[in-house]
Amino acid sequence: MLIGGNAGEISFSVLGTLLSGASPLSTRQILLVNLLTDMFPAMAVAVTPRDETTEDSPDGESTLTDSVPVGVAALGDPLTRQIRERGIVTTLGATTAWLIGTITPGSARRTSTMALCGVVGAQLTQTVSGRRHSPLVLITALGSAAVLVGLVETPLLSQFFGCTPLGPVAWAGVATAMGVAILGPRLVPEIDALLRRLRVAVRP
């Protein structure tokens, strides 16, 4: 979870720098992202059992099955795939918020603030979706989101982190980015599988 999220942050920072000529997030904002996503939510995930899903067996009965491999089986390709998917989804969510900030009227600081909220929102959304039955994970994620909103909307604290209070349009852009993060885990594996099939098809 942490490696994938950090990979997404790096990818977004590189992409934003290439497109705009400057990093979309300041050093303090990057540290704030890590504080809000890598601390309490990550600790809650570490002490929470994984979600289980129900699956119909051949005889028609519903049985519980783990959603992801465990132990040694979770290493190698499954681990690489999860890191890659989380990184891609985090990048998509952050980039969505940043692009909406870029094309809507406002200052560069407003766009940077939206990017910050997009990065945090995308990661918290993925964290909750992976442990949706855990009250502890939900509480820590909502708490981190509340802290972020409080920091952004409090003028002095917002200025300290290089942010600015956001209006309804900006928050709607952040919500859109979180929606992308919700849909991303469903779309990325399909796209990944399609690309693998294409690579196999074009091999000599």
What tens digit of pLDDT does each residue of 149-182 get? 999 999 999 999 999 999 999 999 999 999 998 8
For residue 115, the SS3 value is: helix
Average of per-residue pLDDT across 115-139? 88
119-148: average pLDDT: 89
Please tell me the distance from the alpha carbon of residue 108 to that of residue 102, in angstroms, as a whole number. Answer: 8
Distance CA 130, CA 40 (A): 15
Buried b (16+ CB within 10 A) or exposed e, 118-146: bbbbbbbbbbbbbbeebeebbebbeebbe
Cα–Cα distances (Å) from 5 to 103, 131, 136, 164, 174, in that order, read 26, 16, 20, 24, 17
Least confident interval from 46-55, 106-115, 183-192 = 46-55
Q: Which of 48, 32, 47 is nearest to 147 (CA)?
A: 32
Residue 93 has a CB neighbour count (10 Å cut-off) of 33
Please provide the DSSP assignment of 135-177 as one string.
HHHHHHHHHHHHHHHHHHHSHHHHHHTT-----HHHHHHHHHH
Cα separation, 37 vs 145, whole angstroms: 9
Q: Please measure the distance between the N-terminal and C-terminal CA atoms of the chain and give it in whole angstroms.
A: 37
What's the CA gap between 117 and 121, in Å, rounded? 6
Look at 9 and 59; give whichever has higher pLDDT: 9
CA distances from 165 to 110, 171, 198 (A): 8, 10, 46
Alpha carbons 179 and 1: distance in angstroms, whole number: 19
Which pLDDT tens digit goes with each residue over 63-99? 334 455 555 555 667 788 888 888 889 999 999 999 9
What's the pTM value of the predicted model, to 2 decimals? 0.79
